[in-house]
Amino acid sequence: MRSIDRGAGTRPAAVASSVTDVLDWFEGRRQANTYNTRLIPLAQLSEWNLDLGTGDLVHRSGRFYTVTGLEVANASRSRAQWQQPIILQSEVGILGILLKDIDGEPHCLLQSKMEPGNVNFLELSPTVQATKSNFTQAHGGRAVPYLKYFKDRTRGRVVFDALQSEQGSWFYAKRNRNIVVHTEVEVEEHEDFVWIPLTIIGDLLRVPNLINMDTRTVLSGMLTVRPGNPDDGASAKRVPVQHGSWAESGLPSSAQHGGPAQCADRRQSQQRDATKAEAAGRGRAVADARRHDLA
């Protein structure tokens, strides 16, 4: 793990250079925080209640989401008709990853984000993962870090921007805006965020319970779509992906990383890191499971 020194009076930004760096940093963030969760009856929720008219589960602010009932008929599935609960959330969320060249190599800024349903509490999330209720602070909480890079387009170049559906089995007509922005400006530091080279992202994706589903969704957009030239009005166009090269994602020429021999050496080194990372991830998952069982 290395750091970017911004000078006196500033904190260095964490910059990983290997899978091991990322896992060590991630474990440090887990140890720096303590989380306690327990399942309780719906009736004990202080800010949520059942609407007397509809029976829906709603937040007292009227924001966030609503859990209601859904009936499905004439479905071309093993069951033609059924009923189920489903989440209504009409707001469009933002899932955004910030990119920046560090020492001539593109890095993405990911965060260690706590979500109470995660197996390990923390997972690596996009730079911004927030609903409108979150980033407008309807909950009265803290502001969402780095949101300005995705709201103010003068702070960087848009590499990818598309609306994508949320999981349709549990959300009703819910969408998120998936955005990737490449910036060249100075980016403020935050202890829960780390810069990760794009060249090791593929190996990190194989580590159990590390990179969350939203991050995977946003990353997938960079592999196949490159924005057109805004000067000639061209629309986004598909480009072939060669050997998983990030150079084909519309990033600057610095995203290219040497010839075939160098790439082969790098892949062998990354594969060794990935093998170690998978073993470490499995060991941590087993240890966590044992701690939960003992609790």
Average pLDDT, the chain: 78
pLDDT at 85: 97
CA distance linking residue 181 with residue 101, whole number of Å: 12
The pTM (predicted TM-score) of the whole model is 0.71
Say what the pLDDT of residue 79 is.
87
Contacts of 173 (CB under 8 A, 6+ apart): 90
Q: What is the mean pLDDT of residues 70-87?
A: 91
- Kindly indicate the confidence band of residue 274, based on its pLDDT and cuts at 50, 70 and 90: low
**From 5-19, 25-39, 175-189, the region with the lowest mean pLDDT:** 5-19
User: Burial of 278 by CB count in 10 Å (0-12 exposed, 13-18 middle, 19+ buried)?
Assistant: middle
CA 218 to chain centre: 7
- Output the pLDDT for position 76: 84
pLDDT at residue 259 above 50? no
Q: What is the pLDDT of residues 161-218, one digit of tens each?
A: 999 999 889 999 999 999 999 999 999 999 999 999 999 999 999 999 999 999 999 9
pLDDT of residue 44: 94
Which residues, 6 or more positions from 39, have their beta carbon under 8 angstroms from its beta carbon? none
- List all residues 6 or more positions away from 194 whose beta carbon is below 8 Å from its beta carbon: 14, 15, 16, 22, 25, 109, 110, 111, 112
pLDDT digits (tens, 9 = 90+) for 149-158: 998 888 999 9
Please indicate whether residue 96 or residue 76 has the higher confidence score (pLDDT): 96
How far is residue 23's CA from residue 206's CA, in Å, rounded to a whole number? Answer: 12
**For residue 126, which amino acid is it?**
P
Question: Model confidence over 101-151: pLDDT tens digits?
Answer: 999 999 999 999 999 999 989 999 999 999 887 777 666 678 899 999 998
Tens-place pLDDT, residues 82-97: 999 999 998 889 999 9
* Residue 35: band (very low, low, confident or very high) from pLDDT cuts 50, 70, 90: confident
Q: 248 vs 23, which has greater pLDDT?
A: 23
Secondary structure of residue 91 in the 3-state scheme: coil
